[in-house]
Amino acid sequence: MLELAPWGGESLNLANPDAPVRTLAFGAAGEGLVTYLILEAQRRVDVLDVLWLG
């Protein structure tokens, strides 16, 4: 998902929905959350944090 469509995640900044810092829930019941930064000019996504509740 992050490699193919990184802009599909939710913006971390609700006041700026186009912000490059995003979150994405994952897992069967959404028990994981990854926070990442999109660096469009470098065509790169950096993972900032991974949270797993399980």
* Model confidence pLDDT, tens digit, residues 5-51: 999 999 999 999 999 999 999 999 999 999 999 999 999 999 999 99
Distance CA 44, CA 38 (A): 6
Binning the chain into helix, strand and coil, the percentages to the nearest 5 are: 10, 45, 45
Q: Whole-structure pTM over 0.85, yes or no?
A: yes
CB neighbours of 24 closer than 8 A, spacing ≥ 6?
1, 2, 8, 9, 10, 33, 34, 36
Cβ neighbors of 17 (< 8 A, separation 6 or more) are 11
